[in-house]
Amino acid sequence: MVHLLLVEDDEPIRRSLSRALVDLGATVTTAGTAVEAIRALPVERPDAVLLDLGLPDLDGADVLALIRAQGDLPVVVATARDDEREVVRLLDAGADDYLVKPFSAAQAMARVRAVLRRTTSAPAEEQRVVVGGLSVDAVSRTATVDGVELDLNRKEFDLLLALASRPGQVVSKRQLLAEVWQQPWGGADRTVDVHLSWLRRKLGETAAAPRYLHSVRGVGVKLVAPGLGSGPGQGPA
C-alpha cells in the first residue's frame, strides 16, 4: 500500500482527491499549506509526495527544494501550465514527474507508481557500479572517485548513474532526457549540456580534457575508465 502526502490548498479538491486515492488503495495524509507539508514529512514518512505548486504560503518550487533538502523522497508536482519551459524548470528543480491540471486520481496514482518503480526496483547486481576509480552506489546515492566522495545534487547523481550503468556505451541526449528528466521529447539538449558540465567539473575534468565522460560528436556521451575513451569523432558536447 502506497502512503502519499497530498499537498493541496483547495479544500474541496483536497478532500475529493484524497477520497479517490484511498479508493484506489493508497493511504493518504493531507496538507493544505507548505508549512503543514514540511512538518508532516518526518512524522508521517510517506512513500511519495503529490505536490500542488499553487500554495498560499510558499512558492511550490521552494517547497520542492525544502523536500529535497530532507532526502530523495519521490515528488510528483501538479501544475496548471503545460509548456516545455515550465516542465523543464520543474524537473530541473528536483521533481520526479509532473501532472497537468485537471487530472484524475487514477492518473495521479499511475504517475506515483511509475516513479516508485524507477526509484526502488533496481536489481541488487545493479545497485553499485564501478568503472575505473569511479564507484556509484544506487542504494545510498553516493559516488566516489579514487575514494573521495563527490558532492552531487539529485540530477547530477541520476545523470552519472545513467551513464555509469552503461560503461562504454554511447547514450544520446534524448535518452538521457527521457531517463533522468522523464522528458521523452527533444528540444532541451541544453539541460543535459549544463548538467554534464557541472558533473565534469566535479569529476575533475573538462569537455576538452575528459577522463570519464567522453562526447561522441552528433551521437551522445559515454562513460569509460580513464585512458579508454579516445577515438575518432569525439569532442566537446
pLDDT in tens, 64-107: 888 877 777 889 998 877 777 777 777 777 788 888 888 899 99
| Higher pLDDT, residue 12 or 127 | 12
pLDDT in tens, 176-199: 887 787 665 554 567 888 899 999
Give the pTM. Answer: 0.56
Instruction: Report which DSSP code applies to 237.
Output: -
CATH 1.10.10.10 fits 124-223, yes or no: yes
CA pair distance 217, 62, nearest whole angstrom? 37
- Alpha carbon distances (Å) from 8 to 31, 73, 79, 131, 205: 6, 18, 11, 44, 44
Q: pLDDT band for 232, please (50, 70, 90 cuts).
A: very low
Q: What would the mean pLDDT of 41-54 be, rounded to a whole number?
A: 90
Residue tagged 503545460 (cell numbers): 82
Query: Which superfamily is assigned to 3-120 in CATH?
Result: Response regulator (3.40.50.2300)
Q: In the prediction, which pLDDT does 233 show? A: 47
Say yes or no: do domains 3-120 and 124-223 share a fold. no
Domain boundaries, the chain: 3-120, 124-223
